[in-house]
Amino acid sequence: MSRQVTLIVLDSVGIGEAADAAAFGDTGSDTLGHIADAAGPLELPNLRALGLGNIARPTPIRGCGPVERPAGFFGRMNETAPGKDTATGHWEMMGLVMDRPFETFPDGFPADLIAAFCAATGVSGVLGNCAASGTEIIERLGREHAATGLPIVYTSADPVMQIAAHEEVVPLATLYRWCELAYPIALAAGMSRVIARPYVGAWPNYERTYNRKDYALEPPRPTFLDALAAAGVAVHGIGKISSIFSGRGVASEELTHGNPDGIRATLEAMRDRTAPFVFTNLIDFDMHYGHRRDPAGYAQCLRDFDRELPALIGALQPGDLLLITADHGNDPTYRGSDHTRERVPLLGMLAGATAGIALGDRATFADLGRTILDALGVDAQPEALGTSFWSTIAEAP
């Protein structure tokens, strides 16, 4: 029997403020809890059956309380790296914990960075150059962009440079080229990514498209994905996984257009069984509802995923491992429009094994990756971070 491990990251689905949330200005943030309060009750029967409501919290999630006998294992994880962005969270899952945060630019980029970008790309200037919500800034500057053809350049609380352009004003190939040229400039300034943000439509009803493209910093040290690759274990990345790791350790990838497409691709990979490790990011929670501060939309997105969960569980063969977690929070009821420093849920099922196992509070996201290595029979380096919980779920009486 060959075991397959599937890890699904529900992008931004935090489960309550981290112990160090105050240091990030995120005291009181609680993505799942506040969504349930604002747009609930948050009835998620399949996630609840796995043990979502049994995860330790100060107060139960309204509509999603504990069950007597969870069908899976459950817990929550703490992030140790000093960040709350996508790369930091995913890298920590795979054993790479950053020791210092990337640079952020809450007041916009310095003049010399913008000058370097203009010189590299040949544009005469940029629009924006501020921290902003992506949907807000294209609505505010979209007409000026259409008239001038200048790129809309902005950032957020994340260490990213984002470049937006209308697909009918700036061809995708040109936008991507701008981002490629911006990439070394942004990395030299301490950021982790440049993101192409194309959009379509007419003002004020612009819509960002899934032609988004991320240009991410390559992990500065080996990750557990490198260990898997060295052992000949193929990793199939779905969604933006490959871009997060700059392709390192990812044998194959499928880009997707939102959560339904990501779930479809995950099910196909689970049934095909070509890759022993299927690694999926479902982006809609974060992109469409967290950053846009839409608790009702976020709640429906959670319900939509919950409805598909039985199919994912049904695709497991005996001995297969399904893991569900998040990379950070993005409380849609919180101030601003950025990620929130939160613990993340840890849910899963080992097909055919004992259920109802409480994993407690994990000290680092890296516990997840160490467990995946153990499940797939790959040795980690002795100094690798994280504590595996594989024996807890595989050898339970």
**How confident is the model at residue 1, as a pLDDT?**
46
Two tokens, residue 50: 């796995």
Query: Do 232 and 210 fall into the same domain?
Result: no
Local structure of residue 143 (DSSP, 8 states): H
In a domain, 104, yes or no: no
Coil, helix or strand for 155? strand
Q: In terms of domains, do 298 and 180 share one?
A: no
Same structural domain for residues 179 and 298? no
Domain shared by 201 and 306, yes or no: no
Question: Average per-residue pLDDT in the chain?
Answer: 95
Q: At what angle do helices 295-314 and 31-39 cross, to 10 degrees?
A: 110
Q: Mean pLDDT throughout 178-182?
A: 98
103 located within any domain: no
Residue 112 has pLDDT above 80, yes or no: yes
The two tokens of residue 3 are 């075991």
The verdict on residue 353 lying in a domain is yes
CA 10 – CA 24 distance, rounded (Å): 21
Contact of 181 with 163, CB cutoff 8 Å: no
Handedness of CA 364, 366, 371, 374 (dihedral sign): negative
First to last CA, the chain: 21
**382 plus 240 within the same structural domain:** yes
Quote the pLDDT of residue 329. 98
Mean pLDDT, rounded, for 276-289: 95
Given a cut of 50, whether residue 276 has pLDDT beyond it is yes
Model confidence over 132-156: pLDDT tens digits? 888 889 999 999 999 999 999 999 8
Q: Are residues 371 and 326 in the same domain?
A: yes
Domain end: 201, 216, 231, which one?
216
**Strand 207-208 relative to strand 213-216, pairing:** unpaired
Looking at the domain assignment, is residue 101 inside a domain?
no
Region 288-314 average pLDDT: 96
pLDDT of residue 323: 98
Mean pLDDT within 28-44: 96
164 lies in a domain?
A: yes
Owning domain of residue 232: 5-96+219-394
Domain count, the chain: 2
Structure-model confidence comparison of residues 171 and 214, the more confident one: 171
- Residue 183 belongs to some domain of the structure: yes
pLDDT in tens, 373-394: 999 999 988 778 999 999 999 9
> What mean pLDDT do residues 163-189 have?
97
What does the pLDDT average to over 323-351?
Answer: 96
Tell me whether residue 76 is in a domain.
Answer: yes
The whole-number pLDDT of residue 287 equals 87
pLDDT in the model for residue 383: 77
Type of residue numbered 198: P
Q: What is the pLDDT of residue 397?
A: 67
| Cβ-contact 243, 213 below 8 angstroms | yes
Structural domain contains residue 157: yes
What's the whole-model pTM score?
Answer: 0.91
Q: What is the mean pLDDT of residues 254-281?
A: 97
Report phi then psi at 354, rounded to 5: -65, 140
**What is the model's pLDDT at position 355?**
87
Q: Can you state the angle between helices 259-272 and 295-314, rounded to 10 degrees?
A: 10
Q: Per-residue b/e over 181-219, b at no fewer than 16 CB within 10 Å?
A: bbbebbbebebbbbbbbbbeeeeeebebeebbbbbbbeb
